[in-house]
Structure formats: C-alpha cells, structure tokens
C-alpha cells in the first residue's frame, strides 16, 4: 500500500468507529474505501470485519455509564446475538453476498421508521399496560420472546452483512424496550461488538489467507480511536438530535447500498 492509501484507510477507520459508536453503518465508509483501492469484495469484507472489533470495544467502554443497571438485559440478549452471529457467519461462508443485499434497504427503511416513531410507540405501550394494570417498565413474556428473536435475526444479518446493523438494532430495541435512546445505544454497542468478534473469528479460522492484515490493522487503529470519539460525542446529544442523526446516517446508508 502507498502512503496515501495507508492514511486514507486509517482516516476511514476513525470515521467508521465514530459513526458506529453513535448509531452504526460505519462499515459503509471503510468497505467502499477498500474497494476503491482495489481490494476484492470478499477480502474487503473480512478485513473490515476484523478491523471493526477495537471500535466496538472502545465505544462500549465510552458508554459504560449508560450501561449501568443493564446487566440482566445484556445477559438476556447476548446469547441471541452470539448465536445469530454464528449463523450469519456460516451463511457468509456458504452463500453469495447478494442474498442479503437485496433486502437490506427495506430493513433499514423499517428501522428508521421505528427510530422516528419510538416515542409514540413507547407512549402507546405505556397506556396499554396502564389500562391492563401492568408495569410498563417490565416486559411481558411475549415481548421478551419477540425481543430475543429480533436480536437473533439482527445477529444473523450482522454476521453475514455487517453494514448498518446498529441502525436495525436501535430501531427494534427502541420500539420494544422502555429505555432512553442513549441507554439503548449503549446496549447496541455491546451486542454489535459481540457480532463483529464472532464474524471476525469465523473469517480468521476458515479464511485466514484471504484477510489483508495490513488493512485490517489500519482499520482497527482507526476504529479504536473513533469509538472513543464517537461515544464521547454521542452520549452528550439530546435524544431528538441523536434521533435525527440516526435518520440522516441511516438514509445515507440506504442510498449507498442502492447506488452500489
């Protein structure tokens, strides 16, 4: 790689780490950057997945205050993300990438609708539970099952096609959990980090020779820095501002995917 390529891949990693900490879809910066420099798509996908791990860890650490008291919820959802990531990684190694690319834009549109309508959905759920004499802060058995299934499916998507899984995670959990957007974002950072670790481990074990470790290392350094930057910035945002940023970045992700 030339000096220019090294600098630009590192900068792309910083940008991706920053965006992932705030909402997700940072892969849509690093992946096209690698493609633009001539990396084959499969090599770019796997190298990028490995490079995203430090960013997920630094973003999770940056949101540690918002994670306080959420241990039980994370322990409930972590197995679903883990199993989903294993499933998605297996699919990537056995199916063509075009399978998920077809439905990704539609999934992101749904996620953005959920992000926009989250306050209204949460108020509607509170009213229904209050009318039934239930505590709105406690999920019913049915809601818990639906949440675990949704997180598993997002894990499958993330293990197979990592781009913008954070947007999907925030959209779904925001509609189903009685939590603030910032606390949901904190859970998202942990779960997506787990998915990235599993995917990267699968690629390393079965396709080690196809990973460009120099590119992966540059992205790793960049996302590590970006995760701290993004979490420091994102957790200070007003919920309305954060919701607007999610919608804007999610819309850009949809455009990038449709434009190829």
CA gyration radius for the chain? Answer: 18
pLDDT for the residue 134: 61
Closest among 24, 152, 144, 146 to 81, alpha carbons compared? 152
pLDDT for the residue 255: 77
| Low-confidence stretches of the chain (pLDDT beneath 50) | none
- Segment 93-150, tens digit of pLDDT: 787 666 656 666 776 677 677 767 767 776 776 777 667 666 666 777 888 899 999 9
pLDDT for the residue 213: 95
pLDDT for the residue 51: 92
Residue 257: CB atoms within 10 Å: 17
Structure tokens at 103: 């439905």
Residue 222: CB atoms within 10 Å: 27
Supply the angle between the helices 3-22 and 53-62 in degrees, to the nearest 10.
40
CA 16/CA 130 separation, integer angstroms:
41
Burial class for 42, CB neighbours closer than 10 Å (0-12, 13-18, 19+): middle
């Amino acid at each position: 790689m030339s000096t220019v390529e090294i600098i630009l891949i590192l900068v792309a990693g910083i940008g991706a780490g920053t965006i992932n900490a705030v909402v997700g879809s940072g892969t849509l910066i690093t992946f096209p950057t690698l493609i633009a420099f001539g990396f084959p798509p499969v090599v770019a996908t796997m190298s990028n997945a490995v490079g995203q791990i430090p960013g997920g860890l630094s973003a999770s650490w940056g949101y540690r205050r918002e994670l306080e008291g959420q241990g039980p919820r994370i322990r409930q959802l972590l197995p679903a993300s883990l199993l989903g990531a294993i499933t998605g990684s297996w699919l990537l190694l056995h199916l063509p990438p075009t399978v998920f690319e077809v439905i990704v834009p539609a999934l992101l549109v749904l996620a953005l609708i959920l992000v926009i309508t989250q306050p209204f959905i949460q108020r509607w759920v509170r009213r229904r539970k209050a009318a039934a004499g239930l505590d709105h802060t406690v999920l019913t058995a049915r809601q818990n099952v639906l949440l675990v299934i949704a997180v598993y499916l997002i894990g499958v998507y993330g293990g197979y096609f990592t781009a913008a899984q954070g947007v999907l995670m925030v959209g779904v959990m925001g509609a189903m959990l009685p939590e603030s957007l910032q606390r949901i974002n904190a859970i998202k950072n942990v779960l997506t980090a787990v998915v990235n670790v599993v995917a990267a481990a699968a690629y390393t074990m079965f396709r080690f020779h196809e990973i460009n470790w120099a590119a992966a290392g540059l992205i790793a350094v960049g996302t590590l820095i970006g995760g701290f930057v993004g979490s420091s910035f994102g957790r200070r945002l007003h919920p309305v501002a954060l919701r607007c940023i999610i919608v804007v970045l999610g819309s850009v992700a949809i455009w990038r995917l449709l434009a190829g």
